Amino acid sequence: MATIHDVAARAGVSPATVSRFLRGQRVRSAEAIQAAVDEMDYWPSATAQSLQSGRTHTIGVVVPDITNPYFAAVVKGMESVTRHTDYRIQLANTDESSEREDAVLAEMIRRVDGIILAPATEQDQTPLYVRDAGVPLVFVDRDLLGGEHFDAVLVNNAKGGQQAGEHLLGLGHTRIAAISGSQDTTPGRCRREGFVKALTAAGVEIPPEHDLVGDFREESGYQLALSLLSLPEPPTAIFSANNLMTLGALKALRDLRTDIPGEMSLIGFDDLDTGPLLRPPLTVIDRPMVEQGALAMRLLLRRFEDQYANDAARRIILDTKLIERASTAPPRKPRTAAGAGRTGRGRQR
């Protein structure tokens, strides 16, 4: 393979002159250099180009749980934008750990032109370090306390939680429970706040034993749903604050042979590809996941343009919508004893 020194020798100029020519600068003997490049089929290495331009054409994407279908959809939206550019995505998973996030970002800022981040917690300080290092940063899904100086594409989580509460209230439920995600994250805190707001406005109290907090994982949803079903007077409806916890709750209801929605109505936050195919089909609070990723990527690419580099932060808040299916219905068979479903009365649809 030809090197820049070979091209320089063929054109009768120095390697430094060839380098300047390849960066688009005016140099002497430009025609001779172009002819040498063509004749020798010379392609500058990506490493050399990045050293010369200061750009790697790589974008870091850091998410807390790569197994969550929501983040897969978000990354799909990002890729739909980058496929039309010369940028590529480097994906990293923090496993909901601030410590892991710190390590990932500290390594990544030396190798990428910009980062899209879903922070592990709202109290993270590492994004401030990234910004101070001069690397453009966009938040997606989650925010920081005091993060208004960063670009972000978020969703109206409080409204989504409120929609879930109002839906269950409208069906006539008064014994309603919530299994929420971590309260150190924007989605976990805001969804719960919106849900509680809806119940409070209707004069419905949510007792502590019905107001449970987990960690957005499937096992968490499973264990919290089991706790609710084991109460002497279980709720008649559950709001689950994300898709993985909803899957865990569905498994718990199935294991205890609890009829949905006859004995328990269930509404989740975030739709699943299989949501309409479940028996019964799942009622959800949905949001435009792919669009959220695409918008975040467009905001970041915009920061790479000189005329927008120092603009004020742009904050985009997307709406949620209720998709009503068959997993929610008016309460018909209130449970009165722990584990009533274990007797075989009631069945999973």
In this prediction, residue 333 has a pLDDT band, given cuts at 50, 70 and 90, of low
- Between 102-116, 200-214, 331-345, the lowest mean confidence (pLDDT) is in 331-345
For residue 8, is it within any domain?
Answer: yes
Task: Please give the residue that has the higher pLDDT: either 129 or 57.
Answer: 57
For the chain, what percent of residues have pLDDT higher than 90? 66
Residue 44: predicted pLDDT: 59
CA distance 175 to 207: 9
| Residues 270 and 334 placed together within one structural domain of the fold | yes
pLDDT at 132 over 80: no
In this prediction, residue 348 has a pLDDT band, given cuts at 50, 70 and 90, of very low
Residue 45: predicted pLDDT: 54
| Residues 339 and 245 placed together within one structural domain of the fold | yes
DSSP per residue, 55-110: ---EEEEEES-TTSHHHHHHHHHHHHHHTTSS-EEEEEE-TT-HHHHHHHHHHHTT
- Between 89-93, 179-183, 334-338, the lowest mean confidence (pLDDT) is in 334-338
| Residues 68 and 107 placed together within one structural domain of the fold | yes
In this prediction, residue 207 has a pLDDT band, given cuts at 50, 70 and 90, of very high
In this prediction, residue 341 has a pLDDT band, given cuts at 50, 70 and 90, of very low
Q: What is the CATH number of the domain that holds 38?
A: 1.10.260.40
In this prediction, residue 1 has a pLDDT band, given cuts at 50, 70 and 90, of low
Count CB-CB contacts under 10 A for residue 244. 27
Segment 98-122 mean pLDDT: 91
| Residues 168 and 282 placed together within one structural domain of the fold | yes
- In the chain, the number of structural domains is 3
For the chain, what percent of residues have pLDDT higher than 70? 90
Q: What is the CATH number of the domain that holds 124?
A: 3.40.50.2300
| Residues 49 and 65 placed together within one structural domain of the fold | no
Task: Please give the residue that has the higher pLDDT: either 315 or 275.
Answer: 315
For residue 348, is it within any domain?
Answer: no
For residue 349, is it within any domain?
Answer: no
CA distance 128 to 137: 9
Residue 349: predicted pLDDT: 31
Residue 43: predicted pLDDT: 64
| Residues 310 and 244 placed together within one structural domain of the fold | no
* Nearest C-alpha neighbor of 197 from the set 170, 167, 169, 162: 162
For residue 62, is it within any domain?
Answer: yes
In this prediction, residue 320 has a pLDDT band, given cuts at 50, 70 and 90, of very high
pTM of the prediction? 0.80
| Residues 193 and 229 placed together within one structural domain of the fold | yes
Residue 127: predicted pLDDT: 81
Which residues partner with 265 through β-bridges?
237
pLDDT at 335 over 50: no
**Model confidence over 218-245: pLDDT tens digits?**
999 999 999 999 999 999 999 999 999 9
| Residues 183 and 293 placed together within one structural domain of the fold | no
In this prediction, residue 20 has a pLDDT band, given cuts at 50, 70 and 90, of confident
- Per the structure, the complete domain to which residue 259 belongs is given by 157-287+323-343
R_g (Cα) of the chain, nearest Å: 26
| Residues 180 and 205 placed together within one structural domain of the fold | yes
* Nearest C-alpha neighbor of 250 from the set 71, 258, 340: 258
**Model confidence over 25-60: pLDDT tens digits?**
678 888 898 898 888 877 655 445 554 455 788 999
For residue 93, is it within any domain?
Answer: yes
Average pLDDT, the chain: 88
| Residues 93 and 189 placed together within one structural domain of the fold | no
Segment 282-295 mean pLDDT: 97
| Residues 134 and 48 placed together within one structural domain of the fold | no
- At position 63, the amino acid (one-letter code) is V
Q: How far is CA 86 from the centre of its chain?
A: 24
- In the listed set 35, 53, 71, which residue is the last one of a domain according to the structure? 53
| Residues 71 and 219 placed together within one structural domain of the fold | no
Taking CA atoms, 202 is separated from 173, 197, 222, 320, in Å, by: 11, 9, 28, 21
- Between 68-72, 225-229, 231-235, 308-312, the lowest mean confidence (pLDDT) is in 308-312
